[in-house]
Amino acid sequence: MKKTLIILLLVSTQGSFAQNIERYVDSISKKHFENKNNAGLSIGIIKNHKQNAFYYGGKYTNQLKDVDSTTLFEIGSVTKLYTTFILASLEYENKINRSDLLSKYLPNNITKDKDWASKVKLVDLATHTSGLPAFDSTKSLVQLDGFDENNPYGMFTKEFMFSILKETDTLDNYGKVKYSNFGIGILGLAMAESQKTKFSYLFENYIIKKLKLKSTYLNLTENNLTDVAIPHRKQESMPLIHLAELSPSGSIKTTMPDLLKFLKVHIQPEVDQEKLVQSLLANQLTNSEQKVGLGWGIHKIKDETVYFHNGGTYGSSSIVIIVPTKNTGVAILSNNSDEGQLTNYALKIVGELIN
């Protein structure tokens, strides 16, 4: 009788918790859509061994209500977490080391007589401390030869990126955290060079196959396009972002179920993934007050260590936060450009979940 009562109480508590979270998430969505420009929204939650996903609005307009579990959102710079996951995976298999010099994997004619060649390590690229140029907005590209306003990042071929390295000598900001899309793009190229392959192959092998993701893409085909949540800046439809060889820094399109599956690996890793995940989340900046994992930002909320990353494209926004000690994760995706809204939503939800 006592055992039955305990089970009933657990079921009741879990049901009540799920209902409370749903009400809380619904209240956030209502706040979000007070702005009539906002089109679609998806919120995903991991708590203990349960996952919940909530879908609101539409892929083209909030009137259609067609955002669902098959909807593909651009996740922008959250892509960087997948790139650093590949780095950690290669290291786990003893194929590479985060402490390797970048120059080890580059042609000699690029690195010869360069001051940075004996300094910049792969881990510096993963933690944004390499001092390499940022190229974090189209404004920073306008003065570059080959710039095309209709395809701003199209010039970032392997040859073009190597030419930038060749023209770079000293790095004034080496060792300081300075966000760099270019640095992550170079990390992707270096990993591909180390394995004598292309980054797309590493992505397919270590992300799609190893993690068994079914709806996660670096590049879309015509068959995928009807599933895409079209990016918006206010009410204006925006193009999907195309980053050429900078794709390791921000090209992924994925669904909420796949994104939650990726986050779950970091929260509840399988036994054979534990060391890999620990190496991803460990603070890499031991001589700095700022804490950064491999790709992950590290912060404190209510004395709990949380790991986070956000992303944005021309008209899509994303944020992910995980709290491994609380078996908790939150992901929010939107097909509108964002000015910190999603971060505010995610922090509120995390605060509720870890209470």
Report yes or no on 8 lying in a domain: no
235 DSSP assignment: T
Report yes or no on 7 lying in a domain: no
Beta-carbon contacts of residue 243 (< 8 Å; ≥ 6 apart): 153, 156, 185, 249, 250, 251
For residue 353, name the pLDDT band (cuts at 50, 70, 90). very high
SS3 305: strand
User: Could you report the per-residue pLDDT of 196-230, keeping only the tens digit for each?
Assistant: 999 999 999 999 999 999 999 999 999 999 999 99
The β-bridge partners of 253 are 74, 217
* pLDDT at residue number 15: 53
State the total domains in the chain.
1
Report yes or no on 341 lying in a domain: yes
DSSP string, 196-222: TS-HHHHHIIIIIITTT-SSEESS--G
CATH code where residue 288 lies? 3.40.710.10
- Nearest-angstrom CA–CA distance, 30 and 15: 23
- What's the length of the chain? 355
- Nearest-angstrom CA–CA distance, 166 and 156: 14
Report yes or no on 18 lying in a domain: no
Residue span of the structural domain in which 338 resides: 73-354
Report yes or no on 336 lying in a domain: yes
User: Could you report the per-residue pLDDT of 39-61, keeping only the tens digit for each?
Assistant: 999 999 999 989 999 999 999 99
Report yes or no on 9 lying in a domain: no
117 DSSP assignment: G
